[in-house]
Structure 1
Amino acid sequence: MAFHLEALFMISTSLLFFVAFQIPHVHAGKAKSSAWKQAHATFYEGSANTFGGACGYEDVNKHGYGTDTAALSKALFKEGAACGACFEIKCNQQKWCKGRNSLIITATDHCPPNPQQDSNNGGWCNPPREHFDLAKPAYLKIAEYKAGIVPVYYRRVSCKRQGGIKFTITGNPYFYLVTVSNVGGSGQVVGVRVKGNKTPWATLRRNWGQKWETNVKLQGQVLSFSVQTSDGSSTTSSNVFPSHWQFGQTYEGRNFS
């Protein structure tokens, strides 16, 4: 009996996923903030276009995230599933905090474990620690440079973005890699589909981070994209790429409100 119930659940889940991508407009409930939790935050150096990394955004300014970004420890990064998610962070150490300022950051990178260092002395991102390694400009909004590391409160929040979802296609005529960025609402993309004016809807596979792949031949076609996020919301961007698009170009589609 348990087997039949599990199978029925899997079929129902797959059907819901399929139906969500057939709806040709935005379906997005208002994302709720999660409860406050405790973690720590450090910062890393770098120029404005090097705050991308493990999510595949490369240039976070180009993709709409600015420098309010962070690399997440393994416990938060979840093998790249957290890419694009937004967190509100508050410094929790009176000596080094800059007032009561809070900061909303986007997850754009992974802070890898350092097993050679103690988790409380250099191995800040070792499992099972929940840790934020912030871009330096973001860190300095909530804490003093001298502190190096500060305890923080954090919670998941809805992402507010300027403009539409950004789609960038790289690769070659036989392999297409689509970067999906500047996503509002949940921010966490869990499914992407593409349709050409000559080809039906096709589901893309996650390659890594927020890069999604397909072997369906797309060149020379007008392209539409459908995106689903972790809260079950979906949005369809119709005819977002013109037929004369080229590899490396970025076009904007319909975002979540």
Structure 2
Amino acid sequence: MSTGVSGALFDRGKACGACYELRCVDHIRWCLLGSPSIVVTATDFCAPNYGRPGDFGGWCNFPRDHFEMSLFSFPQIARMEADIVPVQYRRVKCERSGGVRFRVAGSSYFFEVLISNVGLDGEVVAVKVKGSQTAWLPMARNWGQNWQCNAALRGQSLSFELTSSGGRSLTSFSVAPPHWLYGQTFEGKQFEL
């Protein structure tokens, strides 16, 4: 149940991982009977199209709030023939199965991690990484929930500290063993609701 969100919601990537409850409203022809709701996770950016007006192809133009829903999630709230429907939405807590996931990437001179499956409010606003031979190193947001720092961490076990947008911190010690490889994904602790 993933969705791309317009720039007004995306907030330069901070919203990646955030959960929203959506329901189709105010359209008797296209909304499903009873106006059922679903919970979706913001996982992508819906790029604007400033060559089109906001009500005809420029759905993701600033300052519009827009959800670019997957082919699996859209028919849960509206008929597929509709294509675009008005929705009512609100932020909700993210219920996740398993721990936070860390997919490592980078090269010999920088380290990057993609963070996913984050519970609670779903938004990560600060990340630190600690190699078994380093102090805690702050990481900078690259894009969405990709975080990076200029450090050579190969051959060290890795620990991570996350801070959610609600101000709660979570530390997962020794998530990756010293022999980790780029492209591998590791699982840490999870925020408690």
State TM-score, norm by structure 1.
0.72
1:117, CA displacement in angstroms? 1.1
Alignment of 1:28-43 (within 5 A): none
1:76, CA displacement in angstroms? 0.7
Partner of 2:81, secondary structure, is helix
CA distance in 1, matches of 2:179, 2:63: 48
More helix as a share of residues: 1
Matched residues, number: 190
Alignment of 1:45-60 (within 5 A): none
Alignment partner for residue 230 of structure 1, among 142, 148, 165?
A: 165
CA distance in 1, matches of 2:141, 2:53: 33
Partner of residue 175, structure 2: 240
Does the alignment pair 1:117 with 2:52?
Answer: yes
Partner of residue 14, structure 2: 81
1:94, CA displacement in angstroms? 2.3
Instruction: Name the % identity.
Output: 48
1:101, CA displacement in angstroms? 1.2
CA distance in 2, matches of 1:115, 1:172: 36
Partner of 1:140, secondary structure, is helix
| Structure 1 alignment gaps of length 5 or more | 1-67
Partner of residue 32, structure 2: 98
CA distance in 2, matches of 1:254, 1:195: 16
Query: Structure 1 stretch 239-248 or stretch 91-100: which is displaced more?
Result: 91-100
Partner of 1:204, secondary structure, is strand
**Matched residue type, 2:71:** K
Alignment of 1:131-170 (within 5 A): 131-170=66-105
Partner of residue 187, structure 2: 252
Partner of residue 46, structure 1: none
1:153, CA displacement in angstroms? 0.5
1:214, CA displacement in angstroms? 1.2
1:148, CA displacement in angstroms? 1.1
Does the alignment pair 1:189 with 2:124?
Answer: yes
1:154, CA displacement in angstroms? 0.1
Instruction: List 4+ stretches of structure 1 deviating above 3 A.
Output: none
State TM-score, norm by structure 2.
0.95
1:219, CA displacement in angstroms? 1.0
CA distance in 2, matches of 1:215, 1:79: 21
